[in-house]
Amino acid sequence: MSSTRQKLIDLLSDAGTNYISGQYLSDTLNISRSAVWKHMNVLKEDGYEIEAKAKKGYRILQFPNKVSENTISWGLGTKWLGKKIIHKTSMPSTQALAHDLARNGAKHGTVIIADEQTTGKGRMGRTWFSKKGKAISMSMILRPNLLPYLTPQLTLLTATVVAEVLQQHTGSTVQIKWPNDILINGQKMTGILTEMQAEQDQVQYVIIGVGININHTAKDLPDLSEYQATSLYMATQQEWDIIPIIQQILRTFEEKYAMFLKDGFNPVKQSWESYGFRMNETLQITSGKETFNAVFLGIAEDGALLAKRLNGNIESIYSGEITWH
């Protein structure tokens, strides 16, 4: 989206139901009245109902309920996250496009969103399914001033953001299953995938992918794991408007990211553990050739699962088979 269109959307959004004159828009945006009119037509094509009155100007009467660069920008109110939005009705993978854009200099805070992914990526090389128009499938490009070994903290931060937003929207109990699966009613509805490009001591970019099942029915979702997939609709028996959820995730992420850079990881750790699935319970863990029982104490700063063995020893678990039942 052009920066001019973004400014136009911000001006119209701030005006609410009040008229805003074409001359004021022309002067403020430093474009002709004809160019203002052309931008208004683009918004109309997107589904906005715009009223134009002589001597009064323009105002928005109705907003479209479809995901687009314009509708996400409308009222978003972030400082840097989502100032550049790329939306596609269908694409193979938001992560793949984000990598291409990041390698070619895309700005910090660029967001890629798709109505449908045909080859979406999950963790461990798995496929992430997204039904057209029923899911949130997005990737955020970040260029943090972090050492590479600290980037897993961003995955955990993202998990807390998504959990908080979904819990606020639904009133349902939302939990995070280590390391970053979001559960509602004990079933998985969100996946988070973090990838980065880095040199030895410097991160070039980080891409955080978020996939959330919103309005899927049971027949839309395959059973791919021990935790059958679910959606907001299946959990609450009501359909949800996708745009406000995307906007709230972006707003909350920007706020929590700033706090993380200022205050460090400890607040993120505390927040994650407040949502932690089966925290302080005994789990069966298989690591290497050994299977043992241990109490799940929380997470370490590098994202490892902290497990207390029956003999009192505390270990960091990075991978292995964990029995969550």
pLDDT tens, 81-99?
999 999 999 999 999 999 9
> What is the mean predicted confidence (pLDDT) over 192-219?
92
> What is the mean predicted confidence (pLDDT) over 209-234?
80
Q: Are residues 48 and 80 in the same domain?
A: no
Domain boundary among 43, 62, 81: 62
Q: Are residues 117 and 251 in the same domain?
A: yes
Q: Are residues 51 and 190 in the same domain?
A: no
Q: Are residues 264 and 287 in the same domain?
A: no
- What is residue 292's predicted lDDT score, i.e. its pLDDT? 94
- What is residue 31's predicted lDDT score, i.e. its pLDDT? 93
DSSP 261: H
Give the residues across from 213 on adjacent strands.
135
Distance CA 128, CA 213 (A): 10
Q: Are residues 223 and 252 in the same domain?
A: yes
Q: Are residues 115 and 48 in the same domain?
A: no
Distance CA 260, CA 256 (A): 6
CATH of the domain at 294: 2.30.30.100
DSSP H or E stretch at residue 250: helix 242-263
Strands lying side by side in the sheet with 174-177: 85-88, 111-114, 135-142, 202-213, 187-199, 181-184, 174-177
CATH of the domain at 37: 1.10.10.10
Q: Are residues 173 and 303 in the same domain?
A: no
First to last CA, the chain: 47
- pLDDT tens readout for residues 222-271: 655 444 788 999 999 999 999 999 999 999 999 999 999 999 999 999 99
- What is residue 120's predicted lDDT score, i.e. its pLDDT? 56
Q: Where are any strands of DSSP class E within the chain?
A: 49-53, 57-62, 85-88, 111-114, 135-142, 174-177, 181-184, 187-199, 202-213, 282-287, 290-299, 305-309, 314-317, 321-323
SS3 268: helix
Q: Are residues 238 and 141 in the same domain?
A: yes
Q: Which domain, by its residues, includes 34?
A: 3-62
Q: Are residues 95 and 186 in the same domain?
A: yes
Instruction: Give the predicted TM-score (pTM) of the model.
Output: 0.84
Distance of CA 315 to the CA centre of its chain: 31
Number of structural domains found in the chain? 3
